[in-house]
Amino acid sequence: MAAIGSMVFCTDCGNLLPATKGTKKNLLQCECCGAWNKDTGSKTTLTKSKPSDFPSFLRQKLQSNVQAIERHNINTQTAAQERCPNCGREEVTYTAVQLRSADEGSTLIYNCKCGFSWNENN
């Protein structure tokens, strides 16, 4: 019943225990700390370490976040001193949106409480 070649580790200190010496109770004494451990034999816990694809996943997530902002065009609205051409209200909000490339100036998208919105190129 000797589990030769199997690796058993001390549950107290993690030290590699010597191969079983065939004690009646199948116990192994740790040479490091002296603790008695059950000879678990070939019962080895394998930790599957699959290659982490987290970095690319994170990149994807960031990218989709940016796309979401572009899609909605409204992220953070700032109060603007502009008159709504639709209802004449002077309390409107605007959002600066970078369209296409950085070469082109940002576009201001104004939004009025009446539901009207319009663009203005910088």
- Point out the annotated binding site: 10, 13, 30, 33, 84, 87, 112, 114
What mask of x and - would describe binding to Zn ion in positions 46 to 85, judged by CB under 5 A? --------------------------------------x-
Rounded-to-integer distance, Cα 92 and Cα 88, Å: 10
Q: Using an 8 Å Cβ cutoff, are 27 and 17 in contact?
A: no
Task: Tell me how far apart the terminal alpha carbons of the chain are, to the nearest angstrom.
Answer: 83
Q: Which of 23, 86, 106, 119 binds Zn ion (CB under 5 A)?
A: 86
Rounded-to-integer distance, Cα 119 and Cα 122, Å: 10
Residues forming contacts to Zn ion in the complex (CB under 5 A) are 10, 12-13, 15, 30, 32-33, 35, 84, 86-87, 89, 112, 114, 116
